[in-house]
Structure 1
Amino acid sequence: MPAARESLLDAAYAALMRRPWSAVRMVDVAVSAGVSRQTLYNEFGSKDGLARALVRREADGYLAGVERALGSAAGPRDRLTATAEWTAGAARENVLVRAMLTGCWTERLPAPPLAPVPSCTAVPAQRRADGPLPTPRDFVRMVRDRAVTVLAGPGASPADTAELLRTCELVVRLALSCVAAPPGEGGMAELVRAVLPRHLV
């Protein structure tokens, strides 16, 4: 992603932390990023395009964190715990991630339609942002399926894979419940342990 685009997205996110999206002005985003307003419009087309790109970037960042969590530890329990902790932590710390994972978009936030929008830009990153944005159900499915791929290993039977699908989905949904009601110290590991089949513990 070109440096100017990334700087503009950083500036837009910083502006969103200070004021509602409806009060964020394109000219202020451009000035904060140190680029011309024309560059901003060339990259995103409009304020709606900027909102879609910002939401897409935060979605990609969350999913990259899931990949790191799944690759960070040795055993299934530790990998799923790390994924659950990342999910709950990212949703608590990033208002856009929280909105995407829960579907609860407040009036302070941009709320781009999740359906694709017509795109006439030549900027590949913006064409991707103009495509469909993930729903909360999509995120649950993506994280669940990625966890199953990492944990199933070669030669897993269909029955084992089906059980793992249920377990991984339950862990993701547990993590989302912890956004509203965080467990105490070490509580996430205990929750994950409670839902894992005995052979995975």
Structure 2
Amino acid sequence: MNESASAARTPGGPDPSTSRRILDATAEVLGRSGMSKLSLSEVALQAGVSRPTLYRWFSSKDELIEEFSRYEQELFDSGIARATAGLRGNERLDAALRFIVEFQSSYSGVRMVDIEPGQVLSRIALVLPVMRERLERMISGPDRAVAAATVTRVAVCHYIVRGEDADDFLAQLRHAAGLKPRTS
């Protein structure tokens, strides 16, 4: 984050929700255009801000993309933390799996895989070990490392080749994690 972006986030500076609007707009624009064709003008238009305002927050395209990557990870991490708060054992794991399905179903950034698969695959290579390690902490049993790796790969597969049925996706994640099928 550049100095002007840091200064802009201090009390009395621009509203921090502006930064979030810009980052949310970045997801939308990335989903339409991809990273290589990301236009700061298009991001500013999508966010409803002027280019000078965008530049007060992010001094360059590279800085915006770097901050967007952190923001995207923070969205996922905070969402999964909220979904699993106060839960233990299999309830916690199930809540995490449901969150993964919801996140992939609703987050506009997942469409980037259709536009720039190479960028997405390089990003997945970085995220895979982190996601696997976090899931492994939620899974019990002697095969938890294998189960966590399998859940992670099923989730990535659904990210890359989107299915139509969220319930089926969740059932696959539950099966990979070793959770018993839920009955209605």
1:176 pairs with 2:164: no
* Distance in 2, Cα, partners of 1:32 & 1:95: 13
Q: Percent same amino acid at aligned positions?
A: 26
Q: Deviation per CA, 1:72-107: give whole Å up to 9, x if none.
A: 64432x4333323322332343343465xxxx4624
Match of 1:140 in 2: 128
* Distance in 2, Cα, partners of 1:4 & 1:136: 28
SS of equivalent residue, structure 2 residue 115: coil
Equivalent pair of 1:12/1:29 in contact (CA under 8 Å)? yes
* Distance in 1, Cα, partners of 2:60 & 2:166: 43
Equivalent pair of 2:98/2:170 in contact (CA under 8 Å)? yes
1:94 pairs with 2:74: no
1:41 pairs with 2:21: no
1:106 pairs with 2:119: no
Match of 1:163 in 2: 143
Q: Deviation per CA, 1:149-195: give whole Å up to 9, x if none.
A: 3456xxxxxxx5x6222222222222333443355646624652465
What TM-score results when the alignment is normalised by the length of structure 2?
0.61
Aligned residues: 163
Residues 48, 164 of structure 1: CA spacing in aligned structure 2 closer, same or farther, 3 A cutoff?
Answer: same
Q: Which amino acid aligns with 2:51?
A: R
Equivalent pair of 1:90/1:97 in contact (CA under 8 Å)? no
Superposed CA RMSD: 3.9
Gaps of 5+ in 1: 115-134, 153-159
Higher helix share: 2
* Distance in 2, Cα, partners of 1:176 & 1:66: 16
Residues 98, 70 of structure 1: CA spacing in aligned structure 2 closer, same or farther, 3 A cutoff?
Answer: farther
Match of 1:68 in 2: 82
Residues 138, 82 of structure 1: CA spacing in aligned structure 2 closer, same or farther, 3 A cutoff?
Answer: farther
Residues 39, 149 of structure 1: CA spacing in aligned structure 2 closer, same or farther, 3 A cutoff?
Answer: same
What TM-score results when the alignment is normalised by the length of structure 1?
0.57
1:149 pairs with 2:124: no
SS of equivalent residue, structure 1 residue 45: coil
Residues 163, 35 of structure 1: CA spacing in aligned structure 2 closer, same or farther, 3 A cutoff?
Answer: same
* Distance in 1, Cα, partners of 2:94 & 2:46: 38
* Distance in 1, Cα, partners of 2:128 & 2:33: 28
* Distance in 1, Cα, partners of 2:138 & 2:93: 10
Q: Which amino acid aligns with 2:99?
A: W
Equivalent pair of 2:151/2:176 in contact (CA under 8 Å)? no
Equivalent pair of 1:62/1:97 in contact (CA under 8 Å)? no
SS of equivalent residue, structure 1 residue 147: helix
